[in-house]
Amino acid sequence: MKHPSLSPVLRSRAIRISTVAVIACVSIFTANHIVHADAPKTAADYQADPAAMLDAYRHVEAASVSDAIEQLLHQKRYMSHRMQSIFPAKFAGTALTVKLVKQENHDADALTGMLNAIDSGGAGSVYVMQVEDGADIAGMGGLMGTAMFARGFAGAIIDGGVRDLPQLKKIGFPVYSTGPVPSTSVSHYKFGGMNIPVDCDGVRVNPNDIIVADQDGVVDVPRDRAAEILVLAQKLDNSEHSMYPFIEKFHSIEEAVKQFGRI
């Protein structure tokens, strides 16, 4: 910018003042933008935007979700140590429930409903299956897992066994189950229904509940309280993650607990 009527000194000073003013305006705009972008969402925000809520659940720890449920609902909604993943995994999604009823049969269509359930799901679904007395029965295997993977399922939770682990690991489809077994449900089970309440490792899972799973285990989040549970879980996560560097710096977990109120 030229100032033909000004002396060189005044011209230089005017340029500096203009530059500072521009930087100040840009800084204010940037700061306002950052504050707006980083403003935490409320339960009402998540309630109004289910997709954002589900995405946020993918970034919180199962332990914090479990703690939030215990504090808000005074309930145990986590599955036991029996429910193990076939490889380290972390995911969250919407429950699509299936029940298999133990019954010897020679009906070629006895399990057709189970396959229909898979083909009815899509991106973000979590296949949650109750297999009656199924610890030594594979509720699913490579074919079903490949179909779920192709349809964009987030993962599967099987209260029973799983088989074909090489294929499931090859495609990277996460499955929690009571353990690997080589058996089949064909001729031993019948389809008992889909999108109905199921008992999965002692936890009642309703269709459309949110399932959160990571290396600590599996938690079922009731859909009608999911937004407020998420907000509290995020706060618990933030507190715990802030405590790690505090403990490392001051070498005291007691002081960290006093400071952050989290253990």
Hey, what are 230's tokens?
């998420």
- Neighbouring-strand partners of residue 102: 189
Hey, what are 263's tokens?
């253990």
Q: Give the number of residues written for the chain.
A: 263
Query: Is 129:156 a contact under the CB 8 Å cutoff?
Result: yes
Domain map of the chain by residue range?
Answer: 1-37, 77-221, 223-263
Cβ partners under 8 Å of residue 35, min gap 6: none
77-221 has CATH 3.50.30.40 classification: yes
In angstroms, rounded to a whole number, what is the distance separating the alpha carbons of residues 193 and 127? 13
pLDDT in tens, the chain (263 residues): 444 555 554 455 554 545 434 334 434 444 444 334 467 899 999 999 999 999 999 999 999 999 999 999 999 999 999 999 999 999 999 999 999 999 999 999 999 999 999 999 999 999 999 999 999 999 999 999 999 999 999 999 999 999 999 999 999 999 999 999 999 999 999 999 999 999 999 999 999 999 999 999 999 999 999 999 999 999 998 877 677 776 777 667 777 677 776 66
Answer yes or no: pTM beyond 0.85.
no
In angstroms, rounded to a whole number, what is the distance separating the alpha carbons of residues 80 and 69? 16
Hey, what are 191's tokens?
């389809």
Closest CA to 85 of 176, 172, 6, 171: 176
What does DSSP assign to residue 78? B
